[in-house]
Structure 1
């Protein structure tokens, strides 16, 4: 099972990006530093072709730097990709963007030939906050929920640097179930499209395996059960997520945990590594190949049945034709 969310305006946004991609010199892709791969849009990679991309790993203050370094090493050496940890709240980071963009597009940058950059990214990664920080004024609506931006804006940063904003888009089908849950845990998927308890349990499973100290410290636990459901019950009981009679309200407990994860109260973390993603992609491809083989097998098995039906229909038509011929001959007599 995976989490899916693809509002209608996102399909329109895809068409708009495709139309303007030929007009831009560089894509500034804002990623969530906590999910560097899952917050990429594979559809955007396809649409941009050989247009260079500056990947800003936003919310770096919420990310585990040691794991973030693995991603920077992973992308290093790719001539069309430049990646940097980033925070829209860090003025020094914002000031470096013009330098990074010029590094990728050295042949433009004058008033006559300004660098035309398109800001893109999935929902809730901080695109609007980036635009406001770059321009030094509030020009883009900012919200804690995904998909706040729903139309394109073209704005001038300097005489040699222009921005084209685009709505945050997910892709129609998230093929990797694990990635879909990471998107939900970090808040890229609208809360109305997810089951809080289901997503919280997926998040807890990850933290138990990779950041157990963060859990024990945040919730002041001496021991930690191995079952995510039991951990969620403990969190609920400690944080007052209780119903009448002292029973834990699992939905409220899930809200408490996910809020701690999304705001960084639980501590810095990164939910994926390049090696993990490579393994998951192999599993996805294997699952797709298996599904296709099963489909082909069903088609092959159906052929004899179809042929039998065709043969039967043919015999019936021939029998009917014979009866009609005999009837015609009797009429002639």
Structure 2
């Protein structure tokens, strides 16, 4: 079980480099950009290259997976984004999915097409890092299954155009990271949430980071889920407790830290620890 320095996360496979070039070309033919963010970590899940790529194009930000995030914190993030120029922020979660009409209405307001007589054609590009729920959202908006979904990041590999309504089109793009993850704390938050492929960093490293963060900020959730005693203060002690409670033990009855790490991460990603917001908007 790792207790020393964490490995640095880097994940930018060749297909993402290709997708980045294709996205730059696409910007010349769309009217606005939709960026899908994980509501639990909006800042970490926002691609820093997007502002340069979209230049002056208006942006609709969608805080997705709101059912897994703290509601009050999500409202704060929505308020933060809504004061930005040429930006509208919407929300979506499994308990309250964003509808096609809500998206079209927001796009029309953003683009100045909110007058009933206006039938001007527009096209929107929808982007997001891997595993923020973009494909699930897309299938809902299209009223049919267009994209493969799943908890494995980087499922979508090619652009595809979808007709939402008369003169209203949406272009889906592959999930895309950026070449250098300078904010390693943010990168580990993404790994916690499953947005970085597990071949890029070990579950042990992610779980150790998650344990430190949870003990510091969400101890009450840990106590409820794992019957945590006050004596548990370190990531190692937490993972030992997870192993005991979840039955992640070796044949000799000792903690199996690999299985305990996976169990902790699965509980985080599935919402078993409750609604967790890992970031708060700037004051």
Q: Which TM-score applies when normalising by structure 2?
A: 0.92
2:3 alignment partner in structure 1: none
Please list the CA deviations of residues 209-261 of structure 1 after superposition, one character each: whole Å capped at 9, or x if unmatched.
11111111111224352211110111011111111211111010000000000
Q: Distance in 1 between matches of 2:65 and 2:86?
A: 23
Is 1:144 aligned to 2:151, yes or no?
yes
> Does 2:184 align with 1:183?
no
2:92 to 86, 90, 112: 86
1:38 to 36, 41, 44: 44
Q: Distance in 2 between matches of 1:187 and 1:33?
A: 13
Partner residue in 1 for 2:125: 118
In 1, the alpha carbon distance for the partners of 2:66 and 2:260 equals: 27
Cα 1:5–1:92 change in 2 (3 A) is: closer
2:228 counterpart of 1:221 = yes
Distance 1:207 1:61 in 2: 19
Larger displacement relative to structure 2 (74-83 or 7-16): 74-83
CA distance in 1, matches of 2:152, 2:95: 18
CA apart distance, 1:273 = 1.6
1:54 has 2:40 as partner:
no
Asked whether the 8 Å contact 2:239–2:261 carries over to 1, the reply is yes
Q: Which runs of 5+ in 1 are unaligned?
A: 279-333
Question: How many residue pairs align between the two structures?
Answer: 276
C-alpha offsets along residues 95-136 of structure 1, whole Å, 9 cap, x if unaligned?
411111111112489896322000100000111111110111
Q: CA deviation at 1:88?
A: 5.5
Give me the CA root mean square deviation: 1.9
How far apart in 1 are the matches of 2:81 and 2:134? 21
Measure the CA separation in 2 of the matches of 1:267 and 1:7: 33
Matched, 1:195 2:188: no
Q: Which runs of 5+ in 2 are unaligned?
A: 1-6
Map 1:93-108 to 2 at 5 A: 93-107=99-113
Q: Give me the whole-angstrom Cα distance separating, in 1, the residues matched to 2:79 and 2:133.
A: 23
Are residues 1:129 and 2:167 paired?
no
Higher helix residue share? 1
Q: Which of 1 and 2 has greater Rg? A: 1
**Which residue of 58, 68, 78 corresponds with 1:72?**
78
Number of the residue aligned with 1:298: none
